[in-house]
Amino acid sequence: MEVLQEVKPRVYKFGDKKADGNSTMKNLLGGKGANLAEMSSIGIPVPPGFTITTEVCTEYNSLGKETAVNLIKREVEESIENIENLMGTKFGDKVNPLLVSVRSGARVSMPGMMDTVLNLGMNDEVVLGLAKKTNNDQFAWDSYRRFIQMYGGVVLGMKPASKEDIDPFEEIMENLKEKRGIELDTEFTIQDLKDLVFDFKDAVKKRTGHDFPTNPWDQLWGAIIAVFNSWNGDRAVYYRNMHGYPADWGTAVNVQAMVYGNMGDNSGTGVCFTRDAGTGENVFNGEYLINAQGEDVVAGVRTPQQITKLGSERWAELAKVEEEDRIENYPSLEELMPSIFNKLNTYQNKLEKHYRDMQDMEFTMQDGKLWILQTRNGKRTGAAMVKIAMDLLKEGMIDEKEALLLVEPNKLDELLHPIFDSKALKKANVIAQGLPASPGAATGKIVFFADEANKYKSSILVRIETSPEDLEGMNIAKGILTARGGMTSHAAVVARGMGKCCISGAGALKINYKTRTLKVDGNEYHEGDWISLNGSTGNIIEGKVATMEPELSGEFAELMKLSDKYAVMKVRTNADSPKDAKIARSFGAQGIGLTRTEHMFFELDRIKAMREMILAETVKGRKQALKDLLPMQREDFEGIFEAMEGFAVTIRLLDPPLHEFVPHQLATQKDLAEEMHISLQAVKNKVAELEEFNPMLGHRGCRLGNTYPEITEMQTHAIIEAALNLKARGIVCKPEIMVPLIGTVKEFEFQEKIIRTTAAAIFEERNDTVEYLVGTMIEIPRAALMADKIAEKADFFSFGTNDLTQMTFGYSRDDAGKFLPTYLEKGILKVDPFEVLDQEGVGQLIVIGTERGRSTKPNLKVGICGEHGGEPSSVEFCYGVGMDYVSCSPYRVPIARLVSAQATIKSIK
């Protein structure tokens, strides 16, 4: 019997309050497509259209263009017919034409990263039909010139010739404006627009050697393929790598009936947010332009007006515009078109409630009718993210667990960066004012080109406006300043997404790319000059302004408290000094998971004693040098114990290879020889003797303590004495002594014996005791496999995933930089395993190590102290393994606390 195989659709339709898809299908339809379907189903007016799935993008990438097109041809044709029926128009028709937009849409929003084409379906005949039908020649020809411009850029590769050049179509327009003595695009006459269309097509022919395509179907397939290609374009690849999004996600393609914001003064377009994306304040806000289309608002070509009256008043205050002038020339949408505003306000409320999160929406008004073109969970700064989550909770829109899950852990990082010192700000020389597009404090040297952002250690990228090509430079720069553009310009949206300080629309700035200068109020600033940006006020300040440490307060503190209510797994910190321990404690660390004792040896007087110890030829000589180090170490430990009063502190015995401590330059070798009264040759000999082919796999870790037991003895002395001293002062401390890099049980046993004997002798001598643990790091694969045997002896395990990753992959930590970037580029590895724990491989050793360890000691305390201990996906994994704690650098403690809570919530969901 023949079995009919069900064919999975590759194209999903939406429109007229119906849809094939819904908002849960983001992986298949992309974020935009899934939300368009959802909006259509819940009765929001969206222009009808269809979505080609992300899977087709992947098919296109593996099977090629011809096969991919064949796979979807019939469905695309049917879907166009569906739009035609709903709109009562026809694709390519000379009398009653349907025009469409073609947009990309990945499963996560990547603002400006991929491409959009509007008004597709235009040609020399269609434009006449459209003009006649709408009785609006201006609109029809304006739409046509925009189409050629976008299609030329996106599909036909008409880009600026060099970075100092502007877009070739913009150049033609600028020349015409100059000739005609006009400033704005809206001032073009019908004849100007016809001339532009002619000149644009001519420019395309000259640059590409081909005529501009006239057949609407050819145009449509060209645009669909261009969107697929844009997934692998430089911008998208960079954005994907930055966020760790895999290449095989692909992008969907959304094709939608055009609605027109450029049909005259009763039409327009805008972008709005249900709450403030910079601060999180619960105020509806956004920007619009009358008689404009699609990208005009985001591209920042004309500075747009505010949607709400409140927003408009705030804007006028910043821009120093008088109230009368504001009402006359810059009215809000609320004042200009109250009924449209009311509808928009109703939709924004409905959508925020529906999605239970802040929404970022795009809309178009066509001849007095409002259409919503897109909604998505809005990008926001770290501060806004925290405030919005806590506000939605207080408003009862979401519950505690949802509030915690709404916060993206890595973005908390932004709240932990320095802010401007308020005293320094009072003295600051403010040279200009722009829009506070993305809050924060940034100080750096001026650069004018994105690809030069790394010219200085700290740079501020100063642009007339930014474009998606500038992404990489924006990421490197400390802050972004633009002369044009509003709060929803590309620069503003992207900067907020990155949590980067940004000021936009600073109209007083005169930027000259050719001379690399910035003029304002008669002063001139050059590339390399220092400026500072206060992204919270929009103040542009001359020179460098001092910064200070942030603190956990307000909603951030509330969020952390809520996290601790749900978190089961504890968060400790990696800290090597009392200062770091104090910072970590103020961020909520519950103990120290790793103190790398060697870091204490690098300071001036200590390195000398350390070198003497290394150069000593006899045990006696070594002991003498160690004796000098003892009081210094003891003092350090006392400081750390005190800062962490009441919490456990894990101190690791000396770990790095000794060659790291000896001088490698002739001059310092000579100094050392002189100081130690030995010959230069003796120093040189010792340095040569310590040289290793693979120091990371050489004489380090417990191998040092086992060959030079006096080092372990001295360190135990310092730890136990420090603890006793604190006890005498009434301060509770819980030392945990950790043996590094063991691979065999015996290695641990030898060290443990030295530690316990030394401690016992001190207890006897001082006639006092403290409780302490002796545990080990698990960072060699063999140790993970032998964990049951090791746990019979050790009090605790701490996974050193830096070394465990090194040894499981066989990638040297010191040399991986030579090939890892290529591996990531080629997709051989999806992410850097030294940053994100390799759960499939290294993670399995952690699972085995923990299970085997607990098979012989059920209550074995287990933690992690490698760099992964502060990386969200790795922390979640550690919770799944059943670890008692993760330990990370002080600034990642709040992130790990949140992830720990999120992991608990996800596991009980």
Catalytic residues: 490, 865
**Positions in 18-47 near ligand PEP (CB under 6 A):** none
Residue whose CB is less far from ligand PEP, 420 or 834: 834
Which among 206, 555, 573 has a CA at the least distance from the CA of 412? 555
Residue whose CB is less far from Mg ion, 374 or 801: 801
In the complex, least distance from residue 784 CB atom to ligand PEP, rounded to whole angstroms:
13
Size of the site for Mg ion (CB under 5 A): 3
**Positions in 318-357 near ligand PEP (CB under 6 A):** none
Which of 214, 345, 802, 856 is close enough to bind ligand PEP by CB under 6 A? 802
Kindly state whether residue 803 participates in binding Mg ion, applying the rule CB under 5 A: yes
Report the chain's C-alpha Rg in angstroms: 32
Structure tokens at 466: 């930014």
Kindly state whether residue 588 participates in binding ligand PEP, applying the rule CB under 6 A: no
By a kind-dependent CB cut-off of 5 to 8 A, residue 651 interacts, out of ligand PEP, Mg ion, none, with none
Kindly state whether residue 866 participates in binding ligand PEP, applying the rule CB under 6 A: yes
Residue whose CB is less far from Mg ion, 769 or 802: 802
**Positions in 346-385 near Mg ion (CB under 5 A):** none
Kindly state whether residue 655 participates in binding ligand PEP, applying the rule CB under 6 A: yes
In the complex, least distance from residue 837 CB atom to ligand PEP, rounded to whole angstroms:
11
What single-letter amino acid sits at 787?
A
How many of the other CB atoms lie within 10 Å of CB of 78?
12
Q: Distance of CA 65 to CAs 212, 229, 405, 544, 730, Å?
A: 21, 10, 40, 53, 75
In the complex, least distance from residue 694 CB atom to ligand PEP, rounded to whole angstroms:
14
By a kind-dependent CB cut-off of 5 to 8 A, residue 801 interacts, out of ligand PEP, Mg ion, none, with ligand PEP
**Positions in 285-324 near Mg ion (CB under 5 A):** none
Segment near Mg ion (CB under 5 A), from 75-83, 621-629, 773-781, 823-831?
A: 773-781
Size of the site for ligand PEP (CB under 6 A): 10
In the complex, least distance from residue 803 CB atom to ligand PEP, rounded to whole angstroms:
3
Residue whose CB is less far from ligand PEP, 458 or 744: 744
Residue whose CB is less far from ligand PEP, 394 or 813: 813
Q: 3-class DSSP state for residue 360?
A: strand
Residue whose CB is less far from Mg ion, 775 or 800: 800
Segment near ligand PEP (CB under 6 A), from 254-262, 377-385, 621-629, 795-803?
A: 795-803
Segment near ligand PEP (CB under 6 A), from 193-201, 207-215, 401-409, 796-804?
A: 796-804
In the complex, least distance from residue 837 CB atom to Mg ion, rounded to whole angstroms:
14
Residue whose CB is less far from ligand PEP, 598 or 795: 598
Q: 3-class DSSP state for residue 888?
A: strand
The backbone region for 546, taken as left when phi is positive above 0, alpha when psi lies in -120 to 50, beta otherwise, is beta
In the complex, least distance from residue 780 CB atom to Mg ion, rounded to whole angstroms:
9
Taking the alpha carbons at both ends of the chain, their separation in whole angstroms is: 44
The residues pairing with 98 across neighbouring beta strands, listed in sequence order, are 91
From CA 497, how far away is CA 864, in angstroms rounded?
Answer: 30
Q: Is 905 exposed, middle or buried (0-12, 13-18, 19+ CB in 10 A)?
A: middle
**Positions in 531-570 near ligand PEP (CB under 6 A):** none
CB within 8 Å of 105: residues ≥ 6 apart: 29, 30, 31, 32, 33, 51, 251, 252, 253, 254
By a kind-dependent CB cut-off of 5 to 8 A, residue 865 interacts, out of Mg ion, ligand PEP, none, with ligand PEP
Residue whose CB is less far from ligand PEP, 532 or 805: 805
From CA 800, how far away is CA 806, in angstroms rounded?
Answer: 10
Q: 3-class DSSP state for residue 544?
A: coil
Residue whose CB is less far from ligand PEP, 75 or 779: 779
For 510-666, list the strands marked E by DSSP.
Answer: 510-512, 517-520, 523-526, 530-534, 539-542, 547-548, 570-574, 592-596, 648-652
From CA 311, how far away is CA 331, in angstroms rounded?
Answer: 10
Which among 189, 223, 227, 245 has a CA at the least distance from the CA of 53? 227
- Orientation of helix 842-856 relative to helix 872-881, angle to 10°: 30
What does the DSSP 8-state code read for residue 736?
Answer: E
Which of 292, 865, 878, 898 is close enough to bind ligand PEP by CB under 6 A? 865
By a kind-dependent CB cut-off of 5 to 8 A, residue 596 interacts, out of ligand PEP, Mg ion, none, with ligand PEP
Which among 550, 499, 559, 500 has a CA at the least distance from the CA of 895? 559
Which among 33, 15, 28 has a CA at the least distance from the CA of 105? 33
From CA 140, how far away is CA 97, in angstroms rounded?
Answer: 11
How many of the other CB atoms lie within 10 Å of CB of 329?
9
In the complex, least distance from residue 820 CB atom to ligand PEP, rounded to whole angstroms:
17
Residue whose CB is less far from Mg ion, 391 or 779: 779
Which of 803, 838, 876, 884 is close enough to bind ligand PEP by CB under 6 A? 803
Which of 800, 853, 872, 894 is close enough to bind ligand PEP by CB under 6 A? 800
User: Is 738:779 a contact under the CB 8 Å cutoff?
Assistant: no
By a kind-dependent CB cut-off of 5 to 8 A, residue 866 interacts, out of ligand PEP, Mg ion, none, with ligand PEP
CA torsion through residues 482, 488, 490, 495, sign: positive
Which among 612, 607, 621 has a CA at the least distance from the CA of 676? 612
What is the residue whose two structure tokens read 């897109």?
Answer: 374
**734-739/648-652 β-pairing:** parallel
Kindly state whether residue 801 participates in binding ligand PEP, applying the rule CB under 6 A: yes
By a kind-dependent CB cut-off of 5 to 8 A, residue 391 interacts, out of ligand PEP, Mg ion, none, with none
By a kind-dependent CB cut-off of 5 to 8 A, residue 598 interacts, out of Mg ion, ligand PEP, none, with none
In the complex, least distance from residue 435 CB atom to ligand PEP, rounded to whole angstroms:
44
Q: Is 859 exposed, middle or buried (0-12, 13-18, 19+ CB in 10 A)?
A: exposed
Segment near ligand PEP (CB under 6 A), from 629-637, 684-692, 799-807, 875-883?
A: 799-807
From CA 597, how far away is CA 575, in angstroms rounded?
Answer: 10
Segment near ligand PEP (CB under 6 A), from 27-35, 381-389, 492-500, 797-805?
A: 797-805
In the complex, least distance from residue 850 CB atom to ligand PEP, rounded to whole angstroms:
16
Kindly state whether residue 800 participates in binding Mg ion, applying the rule CB under 5 A: yes
Structure tokens at 233: 């374009």
Kindly state whether residue 779 participates in binding ligand PEP, applying the rule CB under 6 A: yes
Segment near Mg ion (CB under 5 A), from 25-33, 217-225, 766-774, 777-785?
A: 777-785
Residue whose CB is less far from ligand PEP, 710 or 803: 803
In the complex, least distance from residue 592 CB atom to Mg ion, rounded to whole angstroms:
16
Residue whose CB is less far from ligand PEP, 596 or 793: 596
Structure tokens at 444: 């750096």
In the complex, least distance from residue 802 CB atom to Mg ion, rounded to whole angstroms:
5
What is the residue whose two structure tokens read 């919530």?
Answer: 905
In the complex, least distance from residue 759 CB atom to Mg ion, rounded to whole angstroms:
24
Helices (H) and strands (E) in the chain, counts: 35, 34
By a kind-dependent CB cut-off of 5 to 8 A, residue 762 interacts, out of Mg ion, ligand PEP, none, with none
From CA 698, how far away is CA 690, in angstroms rounded?
Answer: 10
From CA 100, how far away is CA 222, in angstroms rounded?
Answer: 13
What does the DSSP 8-state code read for residue 4?
Answer: P
In the complex, least distance from residue 803 CB atom to Mg ion, rounded to whole angstroms:
4
Question: What character string, x for contact with Mg ion (CB under 5 A) and - otherwise, covers 597-626?
Answer: ------------------------------
From CA 784, how far away is CA 565, in angstroms rounded?
Answer: 32
Please give the residue ranges that form the binding site for Mg ion (CB under 5 A).
779, 800, 803
Please give the residue ranges that form the binding site for ligand PEP (CB under 6 A).
594, 596, 655, 779, 800-803, 865-866
